[in-house]
Structures are given as C-alpha cells and as structure tokens.
Chain A
Amino acid sequence: MLSLTVFLPLLAASLLCGPRLPSPVLRWGWVVASALELALVAVLWARYDTPAEGTLAFETRVPWIPGVASDYHVGLDGLSLPLVAMTAVVFLAAALYSLRDEDRPRSRVAVFLALETVCVGTFAAADLVLFFVFFDLSIVGMYLVIAGWGHGERARSALLFFLYTFLGSLALLGGFIGLYVASDPHTFDMVELARQDPFAGGGTAAAVVLGAILLGLAVKTPTVPFHTWLPPAHTDAPAAGSAVLAGVLLKLGTYGFVRLGMTLLPDAWQAWAWVVLVVGLVSVLWGALVAMAQRDLKRLIAYTSVNHMGYVVLAVGAAGVVAADTAGAREVAVSGAVTQMVSHGLVTAALFLLAGVVLERSGTYEIDRFGGLAGRAPRFTALFAVAAFASLGLPGLSGFVAELQIFAGSIAAVPWSAVGLLGILLVAGLLLWTLQRLVTGEAGPATHRFSDVRAHELLAVGPLLLLSLAIGLAPRPLLDVVEPAAAAVVAVLGR
C-alpha cells in the first residue's frame, strides 16, 4: 500500500509519457494521477494508527543490497505521514496550476511526477541508502525543472542549485557511511540504528558524523549561511517548480533534522543543540531582515522561507537542550516544528503560485511596478491576503498554530530563544507592507495589464489556503498524529 503510494506517480509518468499522447490528455492525466495519489494518502491517513515504539506503520521491508545490509524499507509515523500528505496536496496544486501551460508538456509531466515519487519516497524511507537515493534524485529532478522550464538566468541558477545541494548530499552520504561503520552489526537501517544508538555517549566521532549530516541538511533546508542558492533558484524556476521546491523540497532538510539528527544521534544532538538553536535564530532574523530589502516579489517570498525554516531549526535545537522538567515543553516544540513544516508547505506553495500568476500577467516580479491591484483583481487580492496572513501567523490559520507551539515550547526550554519573536514581528510588518504596495494605492505601470485569477489557478491555490485555515481552526486531527511521534523523539533525546 505505501509502496504503491510511493511509486504511483512514477507509474503514471511512464504510462503518460510512453505513447505519444496529445497535450490535453497529458495535462489532465497529470491532474488525475496527482488526485489519485492524494486519495491513496487519504486512505493511508484514515487507516493510520500510531505505531508501537521502534516500529513504523505500513512497514515494508525487502532485502536490497545485502552486502552493505541495506534494505528497501519504508514505513510511516507521525513525523512523516503529515509531510507525505502535504506533498500530495502541493503536487496536485502544481498539476492544476499548470493545466494551461503548453510548454513541452510531455517531459514536464514526466519530471514532475517522478519528482513526486522521489519526495514521497524520501519521507517514507526507513533505510539510509534508500533515503539518500531519493534525496539525491530530488536534486536531479529539481535541476531539470529549473534548467528546462525556468526563465531568466536559469542555467546559472540551476547549476548553483545543483552544486550547492549536491555538496550537501555528499556530506550527508559521508555521515551515513559513518553511522554504518560505527554500528554493530553494520546496518543502514534507520529503525535498527535508532535502537543500537551506535554513537551513545557522544565523543569526537559522533560530533563529526553529526556535523556532516547537519551540513547536508542545513544546505538543503537552507539555513544561514548556506541559503544563498535559494533566492536565485526560486527566482528563475517556473511557478509550479518554485511551489514544489519551497513547499516540499525544503522540508526534506528539516525533516532530516528530526528523523536523522535527533533520532539517530541523540547524545551528539544534545551536545550540539546550542549550535542548532543559534543557527535557527540567526536564520529567523537574517531571513526576515534580508527579505525586507527585496524589491523582487519572488526573492522576498524566498527569504521569508529562510525565516520560516529558521523557526523549525530553532525548535528542534531547543528540543535538544535537555534540562529537568522541560520534556513537556520540548515535545510541544517538536510538534510545532512538524506543524510548521506542513503549514509552510501549504502557504508558501500558495504564495509562489500567486507569484507565478503575477509573472504570467505582467512579465515582472518588481513590487514597485504594481499597486491598486485590489480593484482590477479582487480574487487575486483575496488569495494573496489570506496567504500573507497565514504566512505571518495570524490566529485562525495554520501558521499561528505552528509558531505558537514552537515558541511556547522553545521559550519554556530555553528562555532566550524568545529573541526569535522579533522575526515574527519583522515578517508580519514586511508582508503587510508588501500587500499594501501590491493591492492598494495608485495603479502602477504593470497593473493595467493584470487580469484576475482564472479558474484553474483558483483551484490550485484555493485548497491550499483552505487547508491552512482548517489546520488553524481545528488542529486536533493533525496534532493527534504528530504529538505521539514528537513525544517519542523527545523520549529518545532524554534517555
């Protein structure tokens, strides 16, 4: 069942792209495949029960490379299931958004569907080699998306993206090999490694291995100072690509922090949690400050992503600072981190798709060239306003639930992480200011060509924001899944 969910998009890709199908069939086929995938994930969610400690739900394990004790091992828990669901939603939105796009549909559908398999596979993987295979393929897939369908200096941006994230993935691979060599008997299996805890007690080797893994994940997330690939990659990627990149691919990094760093190297994580915490704080503030200086809408959203991912890093860092009587608070922080991943995936995907609408109508991202869009494009204005509010953490939307948990947990565990609240303030001001510049005031030079959001674009963006609203109003169904997993992670850390 889970394997089917992982490989369904790839299967659809081979079916759609084998014969020479006409363009509408391809584009609708993509939507149908993505909807099927979402339906499968919904079934998984409905049948999900919190697995017992040391096991996973929907587990499948088949020997793969016996020589290095690596299996095809997939499974879900409270950390991965929400992210898999978010991935399916974002990809469906990307498919709907691209319904009218006639640019080489065959290969585009193939690349995006393959990318979906890769992303779901990364979240579902319970074997380090399998994780790495999917993780690395996500880079290749995104490179093809940017280099093939981007605009502007896409070749340069794609190369920068590839080199940077490939560096990260190699560091990650180094860390994985370190874990393998340290384990006894040697294994790449995550569940097995978590049980063995090969680096119990910490030490230099543990620090080096954790450092390699953290470097790999920090590049992917990205955190300051490894974030410089993100703005150009986003600016030059196509809108659907940006939505997937920000919505899903960045989560591969933050998910890794929890899944690999905290669970597999708990002692080293505790020892170095301060560093993670500080990096998170710097990302929060730096992302917010640099975002304020942007005049390009897409770069601005990209930097708010750095800020938002900073909250996640902050939370997982704070969760590692073990002190007496803070276990409950740290559970809240981890749960908030996962909620933030889901929330940011939905909201940023919506924002980037709306930025794509802006480019498609007017050919520019320059915020100053707009103004007074509210009159010309009321639906766009409404969608953008809701997305901005969700992003800045307005109560009633998902961002609030996430950030409330993150700060409630982090401040209780480490009081001075309250400095990060400044980031929320900055981003709130920034997004409101941007909204004001775009939709109110005098019409700018690019405004008169602007037509409102069309049906397929509304269908793509609307559900993302509705889900954000649903999580904001009724977070329990999500938290019921996340909280037991967060508690399990914190229990491993406190051991």
Chain B
Amino acid sequence: MGTMEMRPLAMLPEILLLAGGLVCLLGGSFTPRRRQWRLRVVAAGALLAALVAALVGSRDPGPALEGAVVVDGLTTGTRVVVALATLAVLLLAEEEVRDDDRESETYALMLLAATGALVLGGARDLLVLAAAFLLASIPLYGLVGLRRTDRGAEAALKTYLTGAVFGILLLLGTTLVYGLAGTTRLPDLAARLATAPAAPLAVGVVCVVAGLAFKAGAVPAHFWVPDAAQGAGGHTAAFVTTIPKVGAVVALYRLVTALPETLPWGLLVAVLAVASMTLGNLAAFGQDDPRRLLGWSTVSQVGYLLVPVAVAGRTSLAAAAMLLYLAAYAVTNVVAFAVTTALPDVRDLAGYAGLGRGRPALAASLVVALLGLVGTPPTAVFVGKLAVATAAWDGGMPWLSVALLANTLVSLFYYLRWVAPVLRQGDPDVGPPVTRPWSTGAATGLAVLTLVGAPAAGILWCALGGTG
C-alpha cells in the first residue's frame, strides 16, 4: 500500500476522542449544572468507541495521513492503554467534579489531552509530533489549574512554564533535525542523517528528547510532576501522571529506532532512565503527602519505562516489554491515586493508620497497588519489570538491569512507609475515614485487575507483542 494514502478512517479513535471533547466543551454551555452527568456519559461513550475503533483498526495496519502517522502494534497499544486509563480516571472524577461548575470542561480537557497522547504514540513525523505535543500539553495546564486553590495555581504555573520551555526546545530540535535531514519523516531519518555532522545532530535530538521528557515527566523535565500531583485534584493527578506518559514513551521509542546509529542514542536514554529512577526514588523518601509521594514515584517509574526505549532495536523484547510495563503501570498508578481520592479527608501518611481494620478492601487495594509499583509478584508490574530487565540485559546493557533492580530495592523503602501505617492499629476513638463509593470501587476493581495481570501475562504478551 502506498505511503501517500490519506486513510482518514485509520485515525478514527483520535477523531472520536476529539469529537467527544468538543461535544463536552460546547455541550457544557447548554446543559444545566444538575444535568452535566450527560456529558460524563458522552465522554465515557467516546472513550469506549475509541477503544473499539482501536481494536478494529488494528486489523488494518499501515501508514495513514500520507505517512505522517502509522497504525501498528505500538499505536494500538497506546490507544488501548490510554482509552482504558482515561475511563478509569473518569470514575475518580465522578465524585470530585460532580455538579461542579467546571465539570464539562474537565471532561473536555481530559479527552483533548488523551487525543494528544494518542497522536504522540502514532506520529511518524516530527512536525506531527510537535503538534501532538501541544495538543497533549495545553489541556493539562488547564486541568491542573482547574481547582483554583493556591497550590493548584502554583502547580499550573509551574507546569505551564516548564511545558513552554521544553515545548520550545522540542521545536528547536525539530528545526535542527529538519535542517540536517531535509525531512521530518521518521522512516527517512536514518538514511538522510547517516552522514550528518555529529554535533548539531546531537543538539537537535537532545532537544527533541528533552521535549518528550517533559511529557513523560522524566528527568530533566520532571519538576512539575510532584507539584501537579499534589496541587491538582486527585483525578487530574492520576491523569497527568499516567496518560501523557504513555504517548511520550512510545514517541521516544519511535524516535530512537528511527535515528542512524552514528551516535549512542540508547546510552543517552539509558542515562536519562537511571537519572529519573534514582532521583524520583530519592526525592520520594521524605514525602508525607501521599499524592506528592506518588508524584515522585511516577518520576522513578518513567525511569523504568525508558529502559526498553534505551535498548530499542537491539532486542526483540523491547517493544513488547515497554507496552506491557506501560499497561501495567497505568492501571497500578490509577489504583494508587484512586485510594487517595477515595479518602478525601486524609492528606498525610499518618492518616492511614488503622485503615486495614476500618476499610479492609480499600487497604488491601492500596497494599496491592504499592507492592505492585515496587514490582512484587504476582502483580502486573512484576511481569513488566521482569520483561524490561530482561530486555535491558538482552540488549547489551546488563548494568541497566542492575540499576533497575537496585532502584527497585530503594523504592521499597518509601512504599513501605505508606504500607506500615495501614497495617498498624489506628486510634480507637477515631472512626474509619469517610470514603467515596466510586473511587473505592475503582480502586478495588482495578487492584484485582492488576493481581490477575501476572497469571494472564501470557495472553497480554501475545496481544501486545504479537503486533509490536
């Protein structure tokens, strides 16, 4: 099939989400505040439709939009994970924004940002990548600031400034690469850049990588993540630490595999990976606010996610390992945030004392999520971590697997700081904390899902790896 075909229907999931977002945005103005649940239904419907369209579309792979995007295993994986994770976040949003005057806008912004993440994952052209970056970023600034608290405003400003700086770097890098290669199409880069001078090429690529690192929340563009996680609403925190990462990590994977092997790009990503996991873990040590702790934990998790990107193209395991880890991480991370939104009045780790006795189901979900983030079997992340560590070693970077395992041990310390009070006896005079039903349901349901992740890993692997 020719690369010059348009095939607009191949982009149906993106179109559905975009349309859903627009309906929410416009419909919000015409819907009474008490009836805004209709827009929630619209958003959920758009996501489900996008999910189905993604699965159906995976049967007809190939480039679309004249080769600017591509439908392959990675794209399908991104679409499925993003749609499912956004649906889960929608459940958390139910109680936080119900009947709020910003309800419809929340849904609209989420759907638009999710669209951006999808395009990031499917883009095969640096210019489309730049547009997707903006589409995925700008709604985030709004989402983070929607709560209109002091912390929320600070977080929004920080997110915006970081995003603006790294967005400019991304554009600068794209310009440089275009200047050297004469094209922005990823499949042509390897051939066109084979003889390019090393220094400007390195600067260009580093700039593009830095821009994507902002979206992924990785070092060196991670500053906004803990603030956004702490300052924004719980559902927004879950959203910004999960969905954009999926698109950004896949985009990085495509970029690294498209570059000529004149410079050690894998090593660059590996260094960023180790820096992210180490810094995220060390910074999470002293945190007492659970969401801020989770914010730093997501920085370290991106480090693990970048490991298969570092060995992209050098081992057959890389793509499947990355998608597996992305899917497992997305679900597990949402569970952890769901526990925090289920307990709206508890804002520090000490407040979790006695949760094991007062709210056993929620406590069990939290323990499963936190041990899952550590990568303890039989949770889904364990399989992801195993695959990622194996891929790193198989790809000729055994030291990267060692760094990953060492960081896992370090991370155990602060995750257990959160688990410990849950198991302790609480203050008998204080009753069990107030919980929200939807978030509790989401937390327990998804926690069970992560637990069956490992036994079902084979099926997942075939589904993801077969096409990746």
Residues of A at the B interface (CB closer than 8 Å) are 63-68, 107, 129, 132-134, 136-137, 140, 144, 147-148, 155, 159, 162-163, 166-167, 170-171, 173-174, 177-178, 180-181, 186
Kindly state whether residue B409 has any CB partner on chain A within 8 Å: yes
Report the stretch among B13-21, B121-129, B375-383 that lies at the interface.
B375-383
Tell whether, in the assembled complex, residue B462 and residue A170 are in contact, meaning their CB atoms are under 8 Å apart: no
For residues 3 through 45 of chain B, which have their beta carbon under 8 Å from a beta carbon of chain A? none
Complex Cα distance A166/B416, Å? 12
B401 touches A177 (CB 8 A): yes
A147 touches B423 (CB 8 A): yes
Are B383 and A148 in contact (CB-based, < 8 A)? no
Contact B409–A133 (Cβ < 8 Å): no
Known contacts A137-B378, A171-B405, A178-B393; 4 further A-B pairs (Cβ under 8 A): A64-B458, A67-B461, A147-B420, A173-B405
The segment from B101-109, B271-279, B384-392, B429-437 that touches chain A is: B384-392
Q: Knowing A67-B465, A170-B405, say if A155 contacts B424 (CB, 8 Å).
A: yes
- CB neighbours of B455 from chain A (8 A): 64
Q: Quick check: B420 and A155 within 8 Å, CB to CB? A: yes
* CB–CB A181/B393 < 8 A: yes
Q: What number of B residues sit within 8 Å (CB to CB) of A?
A: 36
Task: Choose one: B320, B398, B409; the contact of A167 (CB below 8 Å).
Answer: B409
The 6 sampled A-B contact pairs (Cβ below 8 Å) are A67-B462, A137-B377, A163-B412, A170-B406, A173-B405, A178-B398
Complex Cα distance, B411 from A170, in Å, reads 12
**Min CB gap A60→B, angstroms:** 15
A128 to B389, CA, bound (A): 15
| A66-B393 in contact (CB<8A) | no
With A137-B376, A163-B413, A167-B409 given, is the CB distance from A65 to B393 under 8 Å? Answer: no
By a CB distance below 8 angstroms, the chain B residues around A67 are: 317, 320, 387, 458, 461-462, 465
Q: Is B394 an interface residue (CB 8 A)?
A: yes
Q: Please give the distance in Å from A180's CB to the nearest CB on chain B.
A: 6
Contact partners of A170 in chain B: CB under 8 A: 405-406, 408-409
Closest B residue by C-beta to A63: B458
When A and B form their complex, which 10 residue pairs have the shortest distance between CB atoms, in order from nearest?
A133-B377, A67-B461, A170-B405, A65-B457, A181-B393, A147-B423, A65-B458, A67-B465, A177-B390, A177-B393
B454 at the interface (CB under 8 A from A): yes
Q: Which residue of A lies closest to B377 (CB)?
A: A133
Q: Establish whether residues B394 and A173, one from each chain, have CB atoms under 8 Å apart when the complex forms.
A: no
For B320, the chain A residues whose CB sits under 8 A away are 67
Chain A residues with CB under 8 A of B458? 63-67
Q: Which residues of A contact B310 (CB under 8 A)?
A: none
Q: How far is the CB of B392 from chain A (nearest CB, A)?
A: 9
A167 to B424, CA, bound (A): 24
> Does B402 reach chain A (CB closer than 8 Å)?
yes
Asked whether B371 is an interface residue with its Cβ less than 8 Å from the other chain, the reply is yes
User: Which residues of the other chain, A, contact B386 by a CB distance below 8 angstroms?
Assistant: 68, 129, 173, 177
A159 in contact with B416 given A133-B454, A180-B390 (CB within 8 Å): yes
Across the interface, do B405 and A159 meet the contact criterion of CB distance under 8 Å? no
Residues of A within 8 A of B409 (CB): 163, 166-167, 170
With a CB–CB cut-off of 8 A, which chain A residues contact B377? 132-134, 136-137
In the complex, are the beta carbons of A68 and B390 less than 8 A apart?
yes
- Cβ B457 vs Cβ A64 within 8 A: yes
Assembly CA distance A170 to B406 (angstroms): 8
| Bound complex: CA A120 to CA B390 (Å) | 26
- For A129, list chain B residues within 8 Å (CB): 386
A452 CB, nearest partner CB in chain B, Å: 32
Query: For A167, what are the chain B residues with a Cβ–Cβ distance below 8 Å?
Result: 409
B412 adjacent to A162 (CB under 8 Å): yes
**CA A162 to CA B412, docked complex, whole Å:** 9
Q: Are A181 and B390 in contact (CB-based, < 8 A)? A: yes
- A213 CB to closest chain B CB (Å) equals 13
Q: Which residue of B lies closest to A106 (CB)?
A: B360
Known: A67-B461, A67-B465, A178-B398. A140 touches B371 (CB 8 A): yes
If the complex has contacts A67-B320, A67-B465, A133-B454, are A177 and B412 also in contact, measured as CB distance less than 8 A? no
Which residues of chain B are within 8 angstroms of A140 by Cβ–Cβ distance? 371, 376
Are the C-beta atoms of B387 and A68 separated by less than 8 Å? Answer: yes
Report yes or no: A133 in contact with B382, Cβ–Cβ below 8 A: yes
Minimum CB–CB distance for A154 against chain B, Å: 9
Measured between C-beta atoms, what is the minimum distance from B214 to chain A in Å? 31
Closest partner residue, chain A, to B417 (CB atom): A159
Residues of A within 8 A of B317 (CB): 67-68
| Alpha-carbon distance A63/B457, docked complex (angstroms) | 11
Contact residues in A for B457 (Cβ distance below 8 Å): 64-65
Contact of B405 among A134, A147, A174 (CB under 8 A): A174
Nearest-Cβ distance from residue B126 to partner chain A, whole angstroms: 31
Q: Which of B378, B394, B402 contacts A181 (CB 8 A)?
A: B394
Given contacts A147-B423, A170-B409, contact A177 B389 (CB under 8 A): yes
Cα of A306 to Cα of B150 in the assembled complex, Å: 57
Contact residues in A for B371 (Cβ distance below 8 Å): 140
Whether the pair B461, A65 counts as a contact (CB closer than 8 A) is yes
Chain B nearest CB, measured from A127 CB (Å): 12
CB of B205, distance to nearest CB on chain A (Å):
29
The contact string, 1 if C-beta is below 8 Å from chain A, for chain B 219-240, is 0000000000000000000000
CB distance from A242 to the nearest CB of B (A): 18
**Complexed CA–CA distance, A177 and B360 (Å):** 36
Chain B nearest CB from A220 CB (Å) reads 15
Q: B461: which A residues are within 8 A, CB to CB?
A: 65-68
Min CB distance, B69 to chain A, in Å? 26
Using Cβ atoms and an 8 Å threshold, which residues of chain B touch A162? 412, 416
Which residues of B (416-460) have their CB < 8 Å from a CB of A?
Answer: 416, 420, 423-424, 454-455, 457-458
- Once A64-B458, A170-B405 are accepted as A-B contacts, the answer to whether A133 and B378 lie under 8 Å apart by CB is yes
Rounded to whole angstroms, the CA-CA distance of A423 and B386 in the bound complex is 41
Closest to A205 in B: B398
- Chain A residues with CB under 8 Å of B454's CB are 133
CB distance from B117 to the nearest CB of A (A): 25
Interfacial chain B residues near A180, Cβ < 8 Å: 390, 393-394
For B462, list chain A residues within 8 Å (CB). 66-67
User: Which of A67, A159, A162 has most chain B Cβ within 10 Å?
Assistant: A67
Residue of B377, B394, B413, B455 with most chain A CB atoms under a 10 A cut-off = B377
CA distance A423 to B302 in the complex (A): 50
Contact B423 A173 (CB under 8 A): no
* Contact, CB under 8 Å: B423 / A136: no
Residues of chain B within 8 A (CB-CB) of A132 are 377
Q: When chains A and B are docked, how far (Å) is the Cα of A171 from the Cα of B386?
A: 13
Residue of B401, B405, B406, B424 with most chain A CB atoms under a 10 A cut-off: B405
A64 to B413 Cα, complex, angstroms: 31
- On whether the beta carbons of A173 and B389 are closer than 8 Å, the reply is yes
Q: Of all chain A residues, which has the CB nearest B405?
A: A170
A144 to B360, CA, bound (A): 14
**A136, A144, A147, A174: which contacts B402 (Cβ < 8 A)?**
A174
Docked complex Cα distance between A107 and B382 (Å): 24
Once the chains are docked, how many angstroms separate the CA of A173 from the CA of B398? 13
What CA separation (Å) do A63 and B462 show in the bound complex? 12
* Smallest beta-carbon distance A233→chain B, Å: 15
Contacts of A174 in B (CB 8 A): 389, 401-402, 405
* A-chain residues with CB within 8 Å of residue B382 when the two chains form the complex: 133, 136
* Chain B residues with CB below 8 A from A166, complex form: 409, 412
Complex Cα–Cα for A134 and B382 (A):
12
A173 to B317, CA, bound (A): 17
Q: Which of B413, B457, B458 has the most CB of A within 10 A?
A: B458
Nearest-neighbor residue (CB-CB) of B462 within chain A? A66
Question: Nearest CB to that of A172 among chain B residues?
Answer: B405
Chain A proximity of B362: nearest CB distance (Å): 15
Compute how far the CA of A177 lies from the CA of B389 in the bound complex, rounded to whole angstroms: 8
> A159 contacts B420, CB within 8 Å?
yes
Of A68, A155, A171, which is in contact with the most chain B CB atoms at under 10 Å from its CB?
A68
Q: Within 8 Å CB of B356, what residues of A?
A: 148
Chain B positions within 8 Å of A173 at CB level = 386, 389, 405
B465 contacts which chain A residues (CB < 8 A)? 67
Q: Which residues of A contact B413 (CB under 8 A)?
A: 163
